[in-house]
């Protein structure tokens, strides 16, 4: 149906990918490609593939110019590296939930979430990042029913929801993406497909009637990750009503599992609880929410100042000028305290004394906050070593970390082919240079949880189109039409 080319934008001198619809089976394929372009163009989440351009060639072929991503998709990474470390898997899942939350907010369902539709990118500044690809099966509220043939099932059988299999297209909700994301996360932490079967019908039957093998049976090391296991098992419930009510709620559960792998999570009447504590909000504050909060604080401050002024007007006149001056000083102090609440500063006040001598001047000082963290620039020779704080993967060298001044956990560097390095916890901010020692032969082990990038040879050029020259077959790029 379609092909993907590696190309160079001749104007901006950057690599891009060109996705072309070359052999549509019917008009619905062309319409779906156009709707995918419109959907992706409306997204701004950093973990969604970016669309730069869309058009139709002189030969009548539709095309998209999308960002080129250096990395591997999750399916390829699992094949070469095995399961993702739970910490990285949780981080990737949180990023995917953010991407899907934006799509769902715009009433768009992805409907084809699977490992091969998620790219992993290793960023020295931000650690492992992901991008959600291929909205070719995305469906919006203004879905045209004629685009889906009667009896046609759209999606990937291994990861599609039971309601998708039953062709209940009109009944699909965001929880269908929750289910697919849950099965994808299952594969990420086990490197195994959730269902086994020698035929399509057996896989579909498992999707409809049988749960996957429990996670701890497939990957016993997950026994120390009960919160993550619960989140995955909740997402892949057969009935939508038993799943998370939204990807935002799922994201919150995984964030809690990241903070405390042994947390006790539960859903009660569609509400999330952590260690018996109700988790009230699933989404971040918007700019409007923040503005309303600031307005409320300013209103309270204005009301307090007005009450003080009213009280001053109703008080009887003082018999002593010195007492009057002392009263004004006290009012000034109270107003100063009210104003200081918004700035969160600590005030030290010298008492005002009313006596036969002139009143002392009131002084205030602001406490200087002490910085409780260290900025550490971690470098290694050779570079590219994975940095771990305790069991948490932080990124690769060189990288600047913000660490607490004291900690009971260890700081380690790991790199394939080299001995693990356990570092002393730094006492001051600065630079740490670590020389890695080669591992003895016959004792190699893969320690880096990050994906490796591949290189590509040159190939023949295509004719430029709209300032973009394409090269077919230059680099293996995952074909989302598979």
Residue 211 sits in a domain whose CATH number is 1.10.510.10
**pLDDT the model gives residue 384:** 80
Q: Assess whether 121 and 194 both reside in one domain.
A: yes
Q: Are residues 427 and 464 in the same domain?
A: no
Residue finishing a domain among 278, 303, 331:
278
Is 238 a domain residue?
Answer: yes
Answer yes or no: is 160 within a domain: yes
pLDDT at 319: 46
Q: State the pLDDT at residue 357.
A: 42
Do both 127 and 251 map to the same domain? yes
Q: Is residue 148 part of a domain?
A: yes
133 and 163 share one domain: yes
pLDDT value of position 1:
61
Q: Which residues are catalytic?
A: 112
Residues 246 and 268 in one domain: yes
Same domain, 89 and 151: yes
Structural domain contains residue 407:
yes
Tell me: do 104 and 164 sit in the same domain: yes
Closest Cα to residue 448, out of 380, 374, 377, 375? 380
pTM, full prediction = 0.60
Task: For residue 369, tell me if it sits in a domain.
Answer: no
Claim to verify: residue 78 and residue 58 sit in the same structural domain: no
Q: Which residue among 244, 278, 312 closes a domain?
A: 278
Domain boundary among 278, 309, 336: 278
Q: What pLDDT shows up at residue 339?
A: 47
What does the pLDDT read at residue 287?
Answer: 56
Do 171 and 192 belong to one domain?
A: yes
pLDDT at 292: 56
pLDDT tens across the length of the chain (482 residues): 678 999 999 999 999 999 998 877 777 788 888 888 888 888 999 999 999 999 999 988 999 999 999 889 999 999 999 999 999 999 999 999 999 999 999 889 998 999 999 999 988 888 899 999 988 666 665 444 444 444 455 678 999 999 998 876 667 899 999 999 999 999 999 999 999 888 899 999 999 999 999 999 999 999 999 999 999 999 999 999 999 999 999 999 999 999 999 999 999 999 999 998 998 654 555 555 555 555 656 666 666 666 666 665 555 554 444 444 455 444 454 445 444 444 443 434 344 444 444 444 444 444 444 556 788 888 888 888 888 888 777 878 888 887 887 777 888 888 888 899 898 888 888 888 899 888 876 554 444 444 444 444 444 444 444 555 544 444 444 444 34
Domain count of the chain? 3
Q: Specify whether 58 is located in the same domain as 202.
A: no
Quick one: 133 and 31 in the same domain? no
Domain that holds residue 180: 72-278
Residue 476 lies in a domain: no
**Are 123 and 225 part of one and the same domain?**
yes
């Amino acid at each position: 149906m379609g092909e993907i080319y590696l190309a160079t934008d001749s104007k901006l001198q950057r690599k891009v990918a060109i996705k072309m619809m070359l052999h549509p089976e019917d008009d619905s394929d062309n319409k779906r490609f156009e709707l995918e372009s419109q959907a992706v163009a409306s997204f701004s989440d950093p973990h969604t593939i970016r669309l730069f351009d869309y058009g139709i060639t002189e030969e009548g072929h539709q095309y998209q110019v999308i960002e080129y991503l250096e990395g591997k998709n999750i399916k390829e990474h699992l094949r070469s590296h095995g399961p993702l470390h739970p910490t990285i898997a949780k981080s990737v899942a949180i990023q995917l939930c953010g991407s899907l939350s934006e799509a769902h907010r715009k009433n768009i369902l992805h409907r084809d979430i699977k490992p091969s539709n998620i790219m992993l990118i290793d960023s020295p500044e931000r650690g492992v990042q992901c991008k959600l690809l291929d909205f070719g099966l995305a469906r919006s509220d203004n879905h045209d029913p004629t685009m889906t043939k009667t009896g046609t099932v759209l999606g990937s059988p291994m990861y599609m929801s039971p309601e998708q299999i039953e062709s209940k297209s009109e009944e699909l909700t965001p929880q269908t993406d929750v289910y697919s994301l849950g099965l994808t996360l299952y594969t990420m932490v086990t490197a195994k497909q959730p269902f086994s079967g020698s035929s399509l019908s057996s896989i579909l039957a498992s999707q409809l009637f049988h749960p996957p093998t429990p996670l701890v049976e497939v990957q016993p090391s997950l026994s120390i990750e009960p919160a993550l296991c619960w989140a995955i098992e909740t997402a892949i419930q057969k009935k939508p009503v038993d799943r998370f009510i939204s990807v935002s709620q799922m994201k919150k559960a995984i964030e809690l599992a990241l903070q405390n792998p042994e947390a006790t999570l539960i859903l009660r009447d569609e509400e999330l609880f952590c260690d018996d504590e109700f988790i009230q909000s699933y989404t971040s504050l918007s700019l409007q929410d923040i503005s309303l909060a600031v307005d409320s604080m300013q209103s309270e401050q204005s009301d307090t100042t007005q009450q003080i002024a009213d009280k001053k007007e109703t008080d009887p006149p003082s018999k002593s000028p010195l007492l009057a001056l002392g009263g004004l000083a006290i009012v000034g102090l109270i107003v100063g305290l009210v104003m200081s609440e918004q700035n969160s500063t600590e005030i030290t006040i010298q008492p005002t004394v009313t006596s036969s001598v002139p009143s002392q001047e009131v002084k205030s000082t602001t406490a200087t906050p002490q910085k409780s963290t260290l900025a550490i620039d971690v470098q290694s020779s050779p570079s590219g070593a994975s940095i771990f704080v305790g069991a948490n993967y932080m990124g690769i060298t060189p990288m600047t970390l913000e660490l607490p001044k004291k900690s009971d956990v260890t700081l380690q560097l790991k790199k394939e082919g080299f001995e693990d390095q356990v570092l002393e916890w730094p006492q001051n901010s600065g630079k740490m240079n670590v020389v890695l020692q080669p591992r003895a032969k016959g004792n190699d082990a893969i320690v880096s949880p990050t994906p490796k990038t591949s290189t590509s040879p040159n190939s023949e050029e295509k004719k430029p189109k709209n300032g973009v020259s394409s090269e077919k077959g230059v680099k293996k790029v995952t074909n989302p039409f598979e």
